[in-house]
Amino acid sequence: MTRHSRLAVGWALALAAALLLNLAIARQTTAPVVTVAAAVPTPVAIPGVAPDPFEALPHSRPTPEPVDWVAGSARPRQLLPVSATEAASLQAAVDRMRTQFHLSSLAVAISAPGGVGWSGASGTARDGITRLTAQSPFVIASVTKTFVAALVLQLIEEGQLTLDTEVAQLLTGVKVPAGVTVEQLLRHTSGIADLVRPLRPVLNDDTEHRFTPAEVIAAVGPVWWAPGAHWGYSNTNYVLLGMVVERVTGRPFADVLEERLLGPLLLDGTGMLETPGAPWMMPPAWTSAFWTSGSMYASADDLLRWGDALYDGDVLPAASLERMLSFGGYRYGLGTEELSLGGRIGYGHSGLLRGFTSLLVRLPNEGVTVALLSTGPRYDPAELLATGSPGQPSILDLALLPSVTALVP
């Protein structure tokens, strides 16, 4: 696929992913301190069992300013560089954290009030030699869900769907329990079981197998509970939402994604794996099984640009964005979750899939957005961002400094 070349004024060099072959990790065990979600979870919200600690956070978000909106009309915002001193401090912090958390690679991108930003990286490519740039790709795992949810909400704005649309009536011939709605898929309250357990043997033993979405859905076991009865994180929900987008638009999901989001925002380093021109980052069984639940790639720069566009109200009208960020009792909205970063309340999404860890978080009260991508052993990315030591500020500390939010000519 061809897009306009994106602008990257003043941004520092970053790197991309080194592929690690790890098994899928359950959501509640993605990090020493569970703060963010994984791409391959097992159900955690069952009767009598409290949600994960990071779910129990209050919601705080200013109302977005109204903007004129037409699907696919969003345009990228260019960030200006921080001072050389701040850039050096941020780079040193990223280097320090990669070493401290024993990661193969770490890329971080930050935007702050005043239209300034920074991105940097530490580590090397899979060959152990090549230093990669800020446009190089990582698997973003479950951060994929933010793109899927935005597309579904755009279709709802256009009247092609409603949150109450019953999925079984829309996806005729697909094994979907009666009564499951589009909103329940978006919120993980459908009760549909996750795809990992039934597909694990093929994922591990036949990595060249290419799943179709219908094959994935057919392999999923019995429902966890009746639609809407409880909450449980399930990648299957977002595979079904990918099928919904294709059924409603009559076009491949990757084409809809390109036309409505990636192209307008000049996200040249972002896309669906196993599409023409996409990098090889995981075996076919993994990319095809997780599909619209976790099989997108992006660079740190692109992921930051996406987060700013989405949460600044450039992708969805204000009412839809507010609906996306209505978290309710389970602290999960429509493709977005509440997160804690250094004791501050934010929202966004995280991901973990086959050695790739991702985090996209907006701190609305501070006006700061952070995108993190890495490869290596499992860890808590929110902890990494907030970790400092005497005389050594954390990445988050530096992102929140007033000097970062003031443009230095």
Tens place of pLDDT for every residue, the chain, 409 residues? Answer: 444 433 333 333 333 333 333 333 333 322 223 333 333 333 333 232 223 222 222 222 333 344 467 888 888 888 999 999 999 999 999 999 999 999 999 999 999 998 899 999 998 876 677 787 667 789 999 999 999 999 999 999 999 999 999 999 999 999 999 999 999 999 999 999 999 999 999 999 999 999 999 999 999 989 999 999 999 999 999 999 999 999 999 999 999 999 999 999 999 999 999 999 999 999 999 999 999 999 999 999 999 999 999 999 999 999 999 999 999 888 999 999 999 999 999 999 999 999 999 999 999 999 999 999 999 999 999 999 999 988 899 999 999 986 554 433 3
What are the two backbone dihedrals, phi and then psi, of residue 361, each rounded to the nearest 5 degrees?
-140, 135
Q: Could you tell me the maximum CA-CA distance found in the chain, to the nearest angstrom?
A: 61
Residues 6+ apart with CB under 8 A from 333: 187, 323, 324, 325, 326, 327, 347
CATH topology of domain 27-102+140-400: Beta-lactamase (3.40.710)
Token pair for 336: 């977005």
Q: What is the pLDDT of residue 234?
A: 98
Q: What is the pLDDT of residue 356?
A: 95
Q: Across the beta sheet with 271-272, what order do the strands follow?
A: 138-139, 296-298, 271-272
The interaxial angle of helices 300-311 and 144-157, nearest 10 deg, is: 30
Burial (CB count <10 Å: 0-12, 13-18, 19+), residue 147: buried
Domain residue ranges of the chain, discontinuous segments joined by +? 27-102+140-400
Q: What is the pLDDT of residue 114?
A: 86
